[in-house]
Amino acid sequence: MSSEHNSDNKTHFGYQTIDKNQKEKMVAGVFHSVAAKYDVMNDLMSFGIHRLWKRFTIDSSAVRPGNKVLDLAGGTGDLTRKFSEMVGDRGQVVLADINDSMIKVGREKLQNLGAIGNIEYIQANAEALPFAENTFDVVTIAFGLRNVTNKDNALASIFRVLKPGGRLLVLEFSRPEQDWLNKAYDFYSFNILPNIGQLVANDKESYQYLSESIRMHPDQDTLKQMMENVGFEQVSYHNLTGGIVALHKGFKF
């Protein structure tokens, strides 16, 4: 059964059903709109907790000196910056994002922070990555998979570019484990978060979409199954903040 849950040419944009060929452009519009305020909004929306989620992902990555790492949907470069230090002069980190506004913000931020010259910036679609197979030791995608039109294609594309023995880490909003937390999170996401978006970024609609896209994303076990379906092994997930976010990990052998 397809994990996309829609007809062949339809997909979701938040709660709307749209033609698949429209989604990429509509998601691009959201991220062009939010790019400049992305870091500020992340801190506000998550009360700074996104930094801990990313730290946990980095600590779980087992990235080593000399590794080649793909930070997919790398956005403003939080993971790239740390991986750049970890892989050192002999390694390489590729920050790839489908959105050129996000890459621009990320590159500028990392250059201002004095990031070393082992980072490459590439505009790329997760569903058709422009890299040879068996290229990367580690691929991470943090808060990006839910915006991809066909997640199965993206996971298969990631699997292809990983080296044997390589691993994928998917950090993404997921399904809270407790009913009360789910209700509280729903209230926050739909009543408070879009208003913060309006106040800070003058953009209520984009943050409404981001809230809806979280609800449409597969839950923990569904995503685990999707990863296994394209060939990942030893797939596991770790719930963070009560399952509001989950880190999935899988290996290519």
pLDDT digits (tens, 9 = 90+) for 100-131: 999 999 999 999 999 879 999 999 999 999 99
Could you read off the pLDDT of 117-171 as tens digits, one per residue?
A: 999 999 999 999 999 999 999 999 999 999 999 999 999 999 999 999 999 999 9
In a domain, 39, yes or no: yes
Sign, CA dihedral 24-252-121-237, equals: positive
In a domain, 72, yes or no: yes
Under the banding of pLDDT at 50, 70 and 90, the label for residue 7 is low
**CA atoms within 13 Å, Cβ hemisphere of 210:** 28
Q: Assess contact for 173 and 217: CB atoms under 8 A.
A: yes
Q: What is the pTM of this model?
A: 0.89
In a domain, 68, yes or no: yes
| Whether residue 18 has pLDDT greater than 70 | yes
Question: d(Cα 79, Cα 128) in Å, to the nearest integer?
Answer: 22
Domain count along the chain: 1
In a domain, 3, yes or no: no
In a domain, 186, yes or no: no
In a domain, 99, yes or no: yes
Q: Assess contact for 93 and 138: CB atoms under 8 A.
A: no
The CATH number of residue 227's host domain is 3.40.50.150
Under the banding of pLDDT at 50, 70 and 90, the label for residue 62 is very high
In a domain, 25, yes or no: yes
In a domain, 6, yes or no: no
Question: d(Cα 196, Cα 204) in Å, to the nearest integer?
Answer: 8
Question: d(Cα 3, Cα 150) in Å, to the nearest integer?
Answer: 9
Q: Assess contact for 18 and 5: CB atoms under 8 A.
A: no
Full residue range of the structural domain in which residue 74 is found: 11-178+206-251
Could you read off the pLDDT of 184-221 as tens digits, one per residue?
A: 999 999 999 889 888 888 888 888 888 888 888 999 99
